[in-house]
Amino acid sequence: MGSSEEKVVAVIMVGGPTKGTRFRPLSFNTPEPLFALAGQPMVHHTISACKRIKNLAQIFLIGFYEEREFALYASSISSELRVPVRYLKEDKPHGSAGGLYYFRDIIMEDSPSHIFLLNCDVCCNFPLPDMLEAHMRYGGMGTLLVIKVSAESANQFGELVADQVTNELLHYTEKPETFVSDLINCGVYVFTPEIFDAIQDVSSHRQDRANLRLMSSFEALQSATRSLPKDFVRLDQDILSPLAGKKQLYTYETTDFWEQIKTPGISLKCSGLYLAQFRYTSPHLLASGDGTENATIVGDVYIHPSAKVHPTAKIGPNVSISANVRIAAGVRLISCIILDDVEIQENAVVLHSIVGWKSSLGKWSRVQAEGDYNAKLGVTILGEAVTVEDEVVVINSIVLPHKTLNVSVQEEIIL
């Protein structure tokens, strides 16, 4: 490793409200990065992973959510984890590399030798210290975390080809039409500060092309469709693709779990992956109980200390219960996320579902789904303050906030 004075900073891209549409109805009142997975905000898992990096000086969150939505969270997590976390608000989207460049002076304040760049909507075990070590061995400008996936699903991501001996990135293409490789980009990177020069090159190239275009109307016609503002730089298409095969970029393969959190359904799967990981990283966060003084707990379950759970309830596996939840006698919960201030009355059942803040489920009600995380209605979702009355059954449905259900529904989206 380098000298002990070398500092590392981490940058986590949190996006902004335009991106959160696929996460509705859960993103109506909470920014997606603050949505609870395994009882902790989504971005909390990423931040905790960064905490394990040696010589970490600072963590920056970059996005275009309103300041107030993140300021409070950033200050509370800073004091909890004892590492400075700062939210930097973009005036507009600049692209994954452009956002980094926009705040380059702040990011470089501590003169770090390395910069981690992570996407908030990624769920994995984040092997960051090992990745940094490999990156220093390779001696390139950047190293990206990669994983093998099924050939069928590879084209939803950035596919790449790496040298099997040196791990050099040889070829990179974002969501290709035809199959390139089953090795994909995980959206986790470590760079040396040279990354800023590479982004600067893209911007000035674009500026030169724009100046040229003023003179040539034919060229303008040709490239009008491709013209991007010079300060909008995408990491994948503008940096990774052109620099592949130039001994600048390398790969580090993980064989552990990895998911991109695209939808509420996938978030339920990821909550389970993080709960399972707690067994190794934070066993104190997992609940236990055998039904005598506490509820019966099966498998990995997180229960917030403020939640009240009746000892006759049976909970798990893969259940996360947030603050101030009240769970009555005889309730059965399997594979679900129960958000703040929910009340679940006697003998209700929740299976493969997400129950939104302040919702209430009546006696003998059932909220359930097939548990197909990728299907549109594979997980039942109740938005904020939804009331399900006694004995009502809700199957494979999405219910928008502030609705009251007094009849059973199946395979419906209730607006």
Q: What's the CATH architecture for 8-261?
A: Alpha-Beta Complex (3.90)
Higher pLDDT pick, 232 / 192? 192
Residue 194: what pLDDT? 96
Place of tokens 């395994």: 38
User: Tokens 């990423």, residue?
Assistant: 46
Residue 22's pLDDT band (boundaries 50, 70, 90)? Answer: confident
Residue 223 has pLDDT above 60, yes or no: no
Mean pLDDT value of segment 80-109: 92
| Residue 396, pLDDT above cutoff 80 | yes
Across 18-22, 29-33, 233-237, 264-268, the highest mean pLDDT is recorded for 264-268
For the chain, give every domain's residue range. 8-261, 265-414
Question: 80: which residues sit within 8 A by CB, 6+ positions away?
Answer: none
Query: Residue 395's beta-bridge partner residues?
Result: 368, 410
Window from 124-133, 222-231, 320-329, 337-346 with minimum mean pLDDT: 222-231
Write down how long the chain is: 415
CATH 2.160.10.10 fits 265-414, yes or no: yes
Distance from C-alpha of 123 to C-alpha of 256, rounded to nearest angstrom: 11
